[in-house]
Structure 1
Amino acid sequence: MDLVSIFGILLALTAIIGGQVLEGGHIGSLLQLTAFIIVLGGTTGAIMLQSSPKIFFEGMRLAKWIIWPPKANQQLLIEQVLTWSNLARKGGLLALESQLEQLQDAFTKKGLQMLVDGAEPEKIRVALEVEISTYEKHHLDASRVWQAAGGYAPTVGILGAVLGLIHVMENLSDPSKLGAGIAVAFVATVYGVGSANLFFLPMSGKLKYLIEQEVVMREMLIEGLVSIANGENPRVIESKLQGYII
């Protein structure tokens, strides 16, 4: 669980709501169902129109990474590669076959299987790099769903404000209805700008960072597998892989 993300969300909400209270306003004045429907529905519709179904739903799925990011333990990966390297030096590449059953990640399993099958080092690198490229493009496209949401939400918020003002103008003869229309107008803008800058754009940035981390982990794995295939010394392999860690 990413506690920093949780704290960031709580801090942002506390700052906005706290500022409203400090200015003498009421929290209830920020709760407008109509404005919420306009901004959320309009933004969702816009990003659905922009994205293919596969990319849209993948973007929604990636949202959980903000709180529960994928585990990217680089040091643990280095230890795993060194274990394989030592096994290969003692019993040959076929000795690594017993390690396949322990692997859950399909990418890692494929790479190790190619190594056990005796594939040429360069063929291992090329095959796995193609998978990395596809993985990176697919996930970056999915993360841009939230970037797009951050671009559309403020505009949809302004649209909600205009709709609220239209409602006000239509009811100038009835002062009792003016307050609701004005509230929707301003709160829709708050929802649009706030959701974009406090949630959607930061989420997109965080997802891109996490995807980059996943790509680095896979590049480390490729380097380790190719080094084992080339019969390099485990200490040399460790030194090479440590270079990926910042």
Structure 2
Amino acid sequence: MKDLATAVGIFGGFGVVITANILEGGNPMSMLLLPPMLLVFGTSILITIAGGTLPDAKAAVKALGRAFGGSNQISGADAVPQIVSLADRARREGLLALEDMVKDMDDPFLAKGVTLAIDGTDPEEVRDILEAEVSAKKRADKQSAKFYADAGAYAPTIGIVGTVMGLVHVLENLAEPEKLGHLIAAAFLATLWGVASANIIFLPISARLKRLSELECSRMELVVEGIAAIQAGANPRVIQQKLTSLLPAEDQLSEAA
């Protein structure tokens, strides 16, 4: 099941802002002016790209799907029974008997670990390989989260730049008072979108990616411990207790139930 917390939070946040605007007698459409929105979103994203590399930017765009859709494998709770089942069969029939079970695994990281074990790879080498993959994922996820955190830091300042630009236009039209109201409103919309985009879009996405990374890497670390225990020939019941102890408190309660 997908976790839609980010979509609910961001669209709900904008919904509250729009509702408050209507209750104050405003017109939500008046906030949708293209120039300030283009300035804030376009410039913020472009200067964020300038602070990294193009592969970083591409990875950040791909990460949006994870941020809004979540992941089917962010908790280690569902991995525990699978690992225990593998341990039970390996204890009874040997590691080679797990080969048929690998084909049915929907977790590529677990499948990779089991395959390494089946191939007779030294347990220490298996651990090193899997832990290196976990570290690589942490670094990649950290960079994607940083991309949106940086955009959230730039956006309010870009909004102020837009407001100053708008006020310059106001001063250019002091001889035409009938235009001043519209120009002043348009000028301050840049600041509005700068602050709103940072605090309702960019920073929440960054925080979401950090949290997903924590959960997914915790699951991967649990799998590493499970593979090590299987290779050591540990008792499946002991493996279950050990892996359960690595889960968050709420997942431990559900496992016990």
Instruction: Decide: shared fold, TM above 0.5.
Output: yes
Hey, what's the Cα distance between the residues in 2 that align with 1:29 and 1:125? 58
What's 1:205 paired with? 207
1:97 to 99, 114, 123: 99
Q: Give CA deviations for 1:208-231 in whole Å, capped at 9, x if unaligned.
A: 000111100100100000001011
What's 1:225 paired with? 227
TM-score, normalising length: structure 1:
0.95
Please state how far the C-alpha of 1:173 moved relative to its aligned partner.
1.6
What's 1:174 paired with? 176
Hey, what's the Cα distance between the residues in 2 that align with 1:157 and 1:82? 54
2:140 to 130, 138, 141: 138
Q: Give CA deviations for 1:27-56 in whole Å, capped at 9, x if unaligned.
A: 222121111111011111111101211111
Does the CA contact (< 8 Å) of 1:81 and 1:224 recur in 2?
Answer: yes
Residue pairs, 1:68-217, within 5 angstroms? 68-71=69-72, 72-217=74-219
SS at 2:69 equivalent: coil
TM-score, normalising length: structure 2:
0.91
Does the CA contact (< 8 Å) of 1:47 and 1:149 recur in 2?
Answer: yes
Hey, what's the Cα distance between the residues in 2 that align with 1:92 and 1:180? 77
Q: Which moved more, 1:97-106 or 1:18-27?
A: 97-106
Hey, what's the Cα distance between the residues in 2 that align with 1:170 and 1:202? 38
Does the CA contact (< 8 Å) of 2:114 and 2:227 recur in 1?
Answer: yes
Hey, what's the Cα distance between the residues in 2 that align with 1:186 and 1:124? 58
Hey, what's the Cα distance between the residues in 1 that align with 2:205 and 2:56? 16
Hey, what's the Cα distance between the residues in 2 that align with 1:10 and 1:127? 41
Q: Which one-letter code corresponds to 2:167 in the other structure?
A: L
What's 1:23 paired with? 24
Question: Is residue 47 of structure 1 aligned with residue 25 of structure 2?
Answer: no
What's 2:13 paired with? 12
Please state how far the C-alpha of 1:119 moved relative to its aligned partner.
1.7
Does the CA contact (< 8 Å) of 1:172 and 1:178 recur in 2?
Answer: yes
Q: Which one-letter code corresponds to 1:41 in the other structure?
A: G
Please state how far the C-alpha of 1:104 moved relative to its aligned partner.
4.4
| Structure 1: segments with no counterpart, 5+ residues | none
| Structure 2: segments with no counterpart, 5+ residues | 249-257
Please state how far the C-alpha of 1:57 moved relative to its aligned partner.
1.1
Please state how far the C-alpha of 1:6 moved relative to its aligned partner.
3.1
